[in-house]
């Protein structure tokens, strides 16, 4: 283990449809990290941005959706070969807009929390996030009227 890796901060959003399912994006086969695995929309915070500005920008770039980020839904950390990542996940709310993927992803889908908790093709840090999230959100999902 390299003990002098830099830390970076990334932000992600959970977005739900009217059934309460979560949006996941499948990473391109030529991604440097986790190719072909499912992903949350999000990415690295630029130095001059607030975390909320960063998550709005990243979700827009990766899905074409404009979100209004809500509360922080959770946080999870992980190491990549060259850096340590502090990942902050925002609640991105309820979404009915069309998804327009960027080159970073090759597919999208909406999955129930139950399904996500059993997925193999999800990076371990997002499995940890959703595991904690399910413990902390036991109430059934009620979509906005």
Cβ distance to a second copy smaller for residue 77 or 112: 77
Instruction: From 15-23, 24-32, 47-55, 118-126, give the range in contact with a second copy by CB under 8 A.
Output: 47-55
Which of 17, 30, 33, 50 binds a second copy (CB under 8 A)? It is 50
Question: Minimal distance in Å, beta carbon 105 to a second copy?
Answer: 26
Alpha-carbon gap, residue 99 to 101, rounded angstroms: 6
Site for a second copy in 57-116 (CB under 8 A): 71-75, 77, 86, 88
Task: Write down the H helix ranges in the chain.
Answer: 51-63, 113-116, 124-136
User: Does residue 49 bind a second copy (CB under 8 A)?
Assistant: yes
Continuous segment of H or E residues that includes residue 117 = none
Phi then psi dihedrals of residue 13, to 5 deg: -130, 140
Contact 56, 63 (CB under 8 A): no
The SS3 assignment for 63 reads helix
What three-state secondary structure class fits 116? helix
The region of 31-39, 41-49, 94-102, 116-124 touching a second copy under the rule CB under 8 A is 41-49
Q: Are 105 and 62 in contact (CB under 8 A)?
A: yes
Nearest distance from residue 78's CB to a second copy, in Å? 12
Binding test (CB under 8 A) with a second copy, winner from 47, 81, 140, 144: 47
| Interface residue list for a second copy (CB under 8 A) | 3-4, 6-9, 45, 47-52, 71-75, 77, 86, 88, 135-138
């Amino acid at each position: 283990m390299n003990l002098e890796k830099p830390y970076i901060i990334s932000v992600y959003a959970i977005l739900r449809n009217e059934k309460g399912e979560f949006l996941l994006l499948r990473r391109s086969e030529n991604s440097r990290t986790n190719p072909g695995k499912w992903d949350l929309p999000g990415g690295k915070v630029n130095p001059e941005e607030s975390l909320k500005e960063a998550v709005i920008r990243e979700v827009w770039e990766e899905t074409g959706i404009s979100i209004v980020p809500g509360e922080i839904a959770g946080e999870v950390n992980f190491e990549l070969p060259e850096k340590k990542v502090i990942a902050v996940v925002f609640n991105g709310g309820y979404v009915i807009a069309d998804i327009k993927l960027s080159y970073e992803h090759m597919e999208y889908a909406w999955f129930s929390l139950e399904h996500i908790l059993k997925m193999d093709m999800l990076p371990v840090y997002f499995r940890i996030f959703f595991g904690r999230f399910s413990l902390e959100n036991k109430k059934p999902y009620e979509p906005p009227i």
